[in-house]
Structures are given as C-alpha cells and as structure tokens.
Amino acid sequence: MAVRLKSVITIPIHRMARFPYYKSNLYPCTEKLLRCISSTPRELQGAPLKPVLLNGFQRTLLSIGAAAMAVTDPTRHDMVATLGETTGHKALVRIHQKMLQDEEGRLVLQDKPRISSSTVNLPALRSLPEGTLGKCYTNFLDNNKVTPDSRCTVLFIEDVELRYVMQRYREVHDLFHSLLGMPTNMLGEVAVKWVEALQTGLPMCAGAAIFGPIRFKPKQRSKYATQYLPWAVKVGSESKPLMNIYYEKRWEQQVEDLRRELNISPFMI
C-alpha cells in the first residue's frame, strides 16, 4: 500500500491567527530597532514620584496597615494598590517572565505603553463601531463613570521593569472588566479579582477575591455562589494570560473575536 506523504503539512488554524491584530500596526523597522526604544515608562502629568525603598519592618507595617484600611474603608483604592505593591514581588516576577515568553507580551515590555486620558485618544475610540474593543472600553468607562486616570502611580517597587508590570496591571484592569463583561459593582469586582488572582497570582487579588464576599448581602451571596464564582474560576484557569495583550494595537478588533482568541467563555445568567 503506497502511503503518500504530504510534503507540506498544513495545520488548520483559526482565521484570525493568520493575521494577528497586534502585528497590523507594527512599525516598519527591525526587531533590533525596537529593542532600542527607551525602557523608562513615559511619565504622565507632573514630576515623577521617587520610588521608595522599603526595609522589612516598613514593608510589614505598611502591608498590615494598608490591609486594615482597605477593609475598613472600601473607598481607599490607594490602600489596595499599596498592598498589592508590598506583597506582590514574587508574582510580578512570574508575570514578567510569562510576558517575556510571549511575543506580544515582549512587545508590550519593550514599548511600555501607558493608558491614560492623555495617551489614549478616548474620543476616537468612542467613534469606533459597536462591538469593537475600543467602543466596548469607552462604553464601560462612560456607563460606570470612571476614567483611566484614577489609578495610583506605583511607589514601592524598585525594579523599573517590575514597576512597569504593576502599573500596566493597574491600567488594564478596566480593560479586563470590558473583556469579561463585568460591571464595577461588588459582584463584578470580585469576579474580575478571581480571574486576576488565578492568572497573575498577586496576593492582593487573591485576598480581595477571598475576603471581598464578606461584605455581600444574602441575595448577592447566592448569585455569587451559583453563577459568578464558577464562571470566574473557569475563565481564570482556562483563558490565556490577559497581561500579554497589546490592547493599544487592538482597538479596532471585534471584542467577540478577542474573547474567542483568549478563550474567555461568555457569562450566562
């Protein structure tokens, strides 16, 4: 029996993978030139705040104080941010490694893009057609009355690369909300924190995911237990790392395509 060997083996791939969106706006320059782009994060308004070097005692005191303040006063988002910075070193190193291993993640680390109202053209995104990532993101910002400028600058991390990873995590949090379709109420926030905890491993996310539901009312608790929690755990464990995505190059991509690409299963009520 003659076995005809194919000289070229074609592996069926998703049509979107053939034309990766993040490469469509690629600068017409070589890889080497890309590496020459300055690795210091672009500073936003005002003088950059000096990073603070903490010793062990300060770190412990700050973590305990920030945790206590975050739990007693939920409006203190800066305390949640501080807690993330003081406890997240190992997790940040892991995220950084994962980003370096992914092509798109490496590009994000080279370019170090920032998301704020001065670096992202929000009116242009609002004018995009419905169903695109940019439109979905601006709808989210408008419906929940938030801006991308409300994130604190990272203060307590020494290494420039890790500081950028932390800042990026903070700035794409709203994009996670848009992608997952979760609102900014307590249930939505805890669900997003579960996904982030499972993907990034940041202790602050895990803490918020586990202790956040303490403040739930009984109706919220039942919804959480039956719908939000199983879905969030499923998405967190199955989906591709959301930190690796160069969102700035994908504003025109259809959100559903991006969700399929990242293996995010839709939330069914």
Residue 89 assigned ligand-binding role:
no
The whole-angstrom separation of Cα 187 and Cα 213 is: 8
Which residue lies nearer to other proteins by CB, 59 or 234? 59
Task: Name which of 86 and 132 has its Cβ closer to other proteins.
Answer: 86
43 is in an annotated binding site: no
174 belongs to an annotated ligand binding site: yes
Is 17 or 53 the residue whose CB approaches other proteins more closely? Answer: 53
Give the whole-angstrom CA distance, residue 119 versus residue 160.
20
SS3 154: coil
- 189 in a labelled binding site: yes
Q: How far apart are CA 240 and CA 15, in angstroms?
A: 18
Which residues are CB-contacts of 223 (< 8 A; sequence separation ≥ 6)? Answer: 187
User: Which residue, 68 or 225, is less far from other proteins as judged by CB?
Assistant: 68
Shortest CB 87 distance to other proteins, Å: 14
Query: Is 27:110 a contact under the CB 8 Å cutoff?
Result: no
**Residue 228 near residue 114 (C-beta atoms within 8 A):** no
To other proteins, the closest distance from the beta carbon of 204 in angstroms equals 15
Can you name the residues that pair with 132 across neighbouring β-strands?
Answer: 254
- Note whether 108 and 244 are within 8 A (CB): yes
User: 49 or 124, CB closer to other proteins?
Assistant: 49
Could you tell me which of 49, 71, 67, 70 has the C-alpha nearest to residue 59? 67
Query: Cβ of residue 61: shortest distance to other proteins, in angstroms?
Result: 5
Token pair in block for residue 188: 């939505």
**How far apart are CB 33 and other proteins at their closest, in Å?**
37
CA distances (Å), origin 33, targets 25, 111, 218, 245 = 16, 11, 57, 21
User: For binding to other proteins (CB under 8 A), which residues are involved?
Assistant: 49-50, 52, 55, 57-58, 61-62, 65-66, 68-69, 76, 78-79, 82, 155
User: For residues 62 and 205, which CB has a smaller minimum distance to other proteins in the complex?
Assistant: 62
CB of 210 to other proteins, least distance (A): 22
The least distance separating other proteins from the CB of residue 173, rounded to whole angstroms, comes to: 19
Binding site listing for Zn(2+): 173-174, 177, 189
Binding residues: 173-174, 177, 189
